[in-house]
Amino acid sequence: MRIGFLTGGQLGDLTQTLKWAEENGFGAIEVSSEPGSPLIDSTKVNNADYVAEVKKTLKESNVIVSCLTWCVNHIDLNIQARQTRNEHLKKIIEMANKLEIPVVATWVGMVPGGISENIKAFTEVFPGLIDHAEKHDVKIAIENCMANIAYRPDIWDEMFKIVQSKYFGLEFDPSHLVFQFIDYIAVLKKFGGRVYHTHCKDTEVIKSRLTYVGYTGDGWWRFRIPGLGDIDWRRFIATLIEIGYDYVLSIEHEDPFFKGAEGFRKGLLIGKKTLSQYLP
């Protein structure tokens, strides 16, 4: 396994980011791929010179790009917004194919209503997106963030019944399961064959606040750098090894105590130190 991190340009352009990653012992970066990304701009997928330049930059580094990531609402009830986002995701898939990056990560998104309304919208959109991914030999991994409907394992069950293609899976992030009181180790074992990428982000439960406001209150949990929260990274990595996952541990920095560019770098280094001690 390699340790990497998600970045949207906090460390500079692609060359600068790869250089910093390699100098600091990282093996991968996960690239935020919104339109106009300063790292890899998928709107230029049909620009042969641009693609060749990116390929050259990647070839010159020992650090890989593990995943292209763009987390937006793909099932928006505004059809124009939905189509615009779906089309950009297709360009990201095509760029990943040209750069030999095996995974693209995203959200499903969310619409008003309950689970059934969201599953209906999912059914309208994602089979076609997965067909596009399959044609380009790129896997789509859905991050299990609360900002989209794919935040619980019972909902994953429903999605995987509708889209059975092995090109559809998860970007597994245990931090979003902790504050739902979901057993992230048991869930990882169950869905291990669908885990195509990981986000390593910690969650700190502030028990003194929780016991005062209860789970419906606010301020009783927060995201942290790996090692500064409540996730058992030894068990998490051991379970990944057990299920046969041998790809990238991608640190997602959302820690409120490590701010700015310097905080971003420092947080990544703390996270790498935590994770690396459990790798074989």
> What distance in Å separates the CA atoms of residue 111 and residue 82, rounded to the nearest whole number?
11
Domain encompassing residue 31: 2-276
From first to last of its 280 residues, the chain has per-residue pLDDT tens of 999 999 999 999 999 999 999 999 999 999 999 999 999 999 999 999 999 999 999 999 999 999 999 999 999 999 999 999 999 999 999 999 999 999 999 999 999 999 999 999 999 999 999 999 999 999 999 999 999 999 999 999 999 999 999 999 999 999 999 999 999 999 999 999 999 999 999 999 999 999 999 999 999 999 999 999 999 999 999 999 999 999 999 999 999 999 999 999 999 999 999 999 999 9
The tokens for 185 are 């180790």
pLDDT in tens, 126-139: 999 999 999 999 99
What's the confidence (pLDDT) of residue 122?
Answer: 98
Q: What φ, ψ does residue 236 adopt, rounded to 5°?
A: -60, -50
Tell me if 128 sits within 8 A of 168, measured CB to CB. no
What's the confidence (pLDDT) of residue 142?
Answer: 98
pLDDT in tens, 185-220: 999 999 999 999 999 999 999 999 999 999 999 999
Global pTM exceeds 0.95: yes
> What distance in Å separates the CA atoms of residue 141 and residue 118, rounded to the nearest whole number?
18
Task: Tell me how far apart the 2 most distant CA atoms of the chain are, in Å.
Answer: 59
The conformation of residue 259, written as its DSSP 8-state character, comes to -
User: Which contiguous run of DSSP H or E holds residue 278?
Assistant: none
User: Which contiguous run of DSSP H or E holds residue 168?
Assistant: strand 168-172
> What distance in Å separates the CA atoms of residue 79 and residue 84, rounded to the nearest whole number?
9
Residue with tokens 């990274």: 233
Q: Cβ atoms within 10 A of the Cβ of 220, count?
A: 19
What is the tally of structural domains in the chain? 1
What are the beta bridge partners of residue 204? 222
Helices (H) and strands (E) in the chain, counts: 10, 10
Measure Cα distances from 262 to 19, 267, 268 in Å.
16, 8, 10
Give the CATH number, domain containing residue 131.
Answer: 3.20.20.150
The tokens for 227 are 């090692």
